[in-house]
Amino acid sequence: MRAVIQRVTEASVTVDGQIISKIGPGLLCLIGIKDTDTTTDIDWIAKRLLNIRVWPDEEDQRKGWSKSVVDKNYQILCVSQFTLCGRIRNGNKPDFSKAMKPGEAKQVYIAFLDRLKLGLGEDKVFDGVFGAMMSVSLVNDGPVTFTISSDE
């Protein structure tokens, strides 16, 4: 499982001209599910998202990188993105053979969202529409962006 994590002041997902999800301060997470991912990968990535310290302590700015999304009681917006599993080895056309098939991937993605909701709260975790063409808007705070992979 792969994730691109961006600290944002706001983010939203639009499908067919309608805003589907919108958050204020928090994390925008692009999620790629590989064909070998299991519940172990779900738990590993979810734990990292919930605990990564990417905000400073307001009371002591010298303590940079000390607060997580849970500590701040912020929100997470997840967007499924199979292209994170793409590879470009030969030529210029991406190979998506390592991405999990859509039917299975949707179930893994739902389980992943459920795991985040357990750790942060049902009302703090949002997502787009699985498999849809989406427009993702964000205001990157910092900018602060990380990539993580459960198999590294």
The C-alpha angle 45, 68, 134, rounded to 5 degrees, equals 55
Q: How far apart are CA 103 and CA 69, in angstroms?
A: 30
| Distance (Å) of CA 44 to CA 37, 47, 67, 94, 118 | 11, 5, 19, 27, 14
| Distance (Å) of CA 118 to CA 51, 55, 65, 86 | 13, 21, 24, 30
Phi, psi angles (nearest 5°) of residue 101: -60, 145
- Residues marked as catalytic: 81-83
Nearest C-alpha neighbor of 31 from the set 20, 21, 18, 41: 41
